[in-house]
Amino acid sequence: MHTARGIALAFGLFALSFALHVIGGRLDQDWLFTLAVALIYVFATGFGVVAWIGAGARSGDRLTLFLGGLAAVALTVSALWAANDRSFAWWQWPLAPVLTLISSVALYGAWRLALRMRPAQARPAGRGA
C-alpha cells in the first residue's frame, strides 16, 4: 500500500509539472514554461526517490525504489526524446540512467539535509537525528 501511495504521489507531481508546461506554452509565458520544464526534469529523473519519500521513506523499501527507478529511467528517456525534437538518438538510452542516478542522489541528499535542519520538536520520532 505504501508503494502505491508513493508512486501515485510522484506521478501526480510529474503530471502537474507536465500540465504546467502545457499551460505555459499555450499562454506563451516563457518563464512558466521554463519553470515547468525544470520541474519535469526533477520529477522525471528523481521519480524513484520522490516515490520513496512519498511512501514513508522506509529504509528497507526496495520495491518502491526499484519500481520508481524504472519509471524514472522511462520518464527520463521520454523527456530526452522530447528535448531532442521528438526523436530518439543512441545517447538517450545510456544517459537516462546516469541522469536518474545523479538526480536521485541529489534529491536524497537534499531531503536528508532538510530533515537535519528542522527543529528537533518538528521531527517525527525515529527520523533525521
86: which DSSP letter?
A: S
Distance CA 107, CA 117 (A): 15
Q: Could you tell me if 68 and 47 are in contact, meaning their C-beta atoms sit under 8 angstroms apart?
A: yes
**pTM of the full structure:** 0.84
Residue in this structure with the C-alpha cell 520538536, named with its chain if needed: 121
All three cell numbers of 38, joined, read 525544470
Identify the sign of the CA torsion 38, 20, 74, 45.
positive
Query: Tens of pLDDT along 11-55?
Result: 999 999 999 999 999 999 999 999 999 999 999 999 999 999 999
All three cell numbers of 89, joined, read 538518438
pLDDT at 59: 77
Query: Tens of pLDDT along 87-117?
Result: 999 999 999 999 999 999 999 999 999 999 9
